[in-house]
Structure 1
Amino acid sequence: MPAEQPTPAPRVLVVDDHRKIRDPLATYLRRHGFEVRTAADAAGLWQLLKQQAFDVAVLDVMLPDGDGFELCQQLHRRCNLPVILLTARDTTADRIRGLDLGADDYLTKPFEPRELVARLNSVLRRHQATQARLHAAPAAAPAVRRYRFAGWHFCASSASLSREGAESVQLSTAEGKLLQVFLAHPHRSLTRQRLVDLTAAHDSDISERAIDRQVSRLRRKLSHDGQTFELLRTLWGSGYLLAADVELE
C-alpha cells in the first residue's frame, strides 16, 4: 500500500516594508508549519506572484509604492487570493473599507504572532471549504453574453461585432475583453489602471500604455460610415468612458 503523501505546507506571502517586522514574522510562521516568501513593496509582491502561487497573503496597508487597500482589491479580483490586512490604524472605517474591498481578515499593529497564526488557519479553512463547494457543484453551461449598443451587436463568446447592413468585425481576445468591460460599465469613467485590473491576469504585464493602444484600435473598429461620434471617450486625467446605452440580448 503506497504511503500517504504529506500535506504540503500552506504558502504564505508576507508583504511589509518594515524589515524588523517582516523577517521575524516570516521566521515565526515557518516554525509553525508555513512556507513563507516575503516582499517589501507592491512591486515585489507582483514579481513573486509571477513566480509561484500562494494560498494566502499577509499585506501591510501602508507600502512605499502602493495602497494596501487597493492592492487587496486587485488580489481579490485578479487571482482570488485570500488576504489578511495589517495596519497601524485601528478605526472602524478602515476595517470596514478593507473588508468591503475583499480582505478576509484584519489585524492591527502591534499584534501577537500567535493571533496571526490562528487567523491564517481560519482564513485557509474557510477558503478551502469554499473551493471544495465550488468544485463539488455541477458545472453550469457558460452563459452566452450578447450586447446591443449604439446600433452594434456584440457576442462576447466569439468576440465579434455586427450591425445591420455591414460585415461583422472580429475583435482580438484583448479587444473583446476590453469592450466587454466597457459594456458592463456604460456611462462610467474607468481609469487606465482599473481597465488593467479588469482585463489582465495577475501574471501578465499589460501596461496602461497598452490599454491606450487597445482603446485606439477599438475606436477604429467601432467607426461606421465615417461617423465622428466617439463611443469611447477620453476623459483627460481620469480615463475612458463608453458613451452609449447598453442592453443584453
Structure 2
Amino acid sequence: MSTDKILVVDDDPKIRLMLRRCLESDSYVVFEAEDEASTHNILKSEDVQLITLDLQLGADSGLEIAKRIRQTSTVPIIIVTGQSDVIDRVVGLEVGADDYITKPFHVREVLARVRSVLRRSLQTDVAPSAEQAKTVGEGSVTFDSMTAHLDRFELLDRNGDMAEMTSGDFRMLTVFLQNPKRIMSRDRLMDLLKGTDWAPLDRTIDNQIARLRKKIERDPKSPLLIKTVRGIGYMFAEDVAVGKAK
C-alpha cells in the first residue's frame, strides 16, 4: 500500500473531490487546499511527495504559488490548466512544474501522470554512489543470514549451502544489494540491468522478482526482503553488511 502523500490545490470543491477519490482509489494519502495560505500550512505540517496545482485559484495565482514553492522545495508539481491555456502551461513548466494536466481530464490520465512524475522524482535518489557501487561490487554481501559473493556470482543460503541461481537471478539480486532500502521503479531496474545478457521488459522484471523471492525469502508469499511499493516499484528492505570476498 502506498504511503505517498499528495496535496490537491484547487478552489473548486468538486474538482478537489474528484481528484481525491481518484488518488485515494490508488491508495495515495490526499490533502486538500483551496488557496495559497492553506497550501503553505499543509506543506509546513505534512511531508508531501507531490502537488497537483490548479493555475486559476481566484485571487491567488497558481504560477506565483509554484514559484514560491520552488524557492524552498523540490517537491514534484503537476499543474492543472484549461485546454486553451497553452501559455500558462509553458510558463508553469518554466517556473519548475514537472508536468501538467488539462481540463477536462480522465482519472486514468491523472493516475498515469502522477505515477510517472513520482517515478522520475525517485530516480534522482536511487542510484548508489560510484564508491558504494564499487565497494559492494568487489566484496561479499551478507543479508538475512545469507552471503552473496558478487564477484563469483555465488549465493550461500541460510544453511551455508550454495543456492541455485541463474545469471538473471543473480544480476537482479546484485542490483538490490547495491541499493538497499531504496525504492526503485521498474524503469530504474531496467536501466540498471541494461548491458546484461538478457533483455528486461516490464513484465520480465515482475517475473524475475517473483523467481528471486522464491530463492531468498523465508516466505515468498509474504516477502520481507523485496517489498512491493504500490504504484511505483520495489524496495530491498533488509540491512546489508559489506565485506571482502573470500
What is the TM-score of this pair, normalised by structure 1?
0.49
What is the TM-score of this pair, normalised by structure 2?
0.50
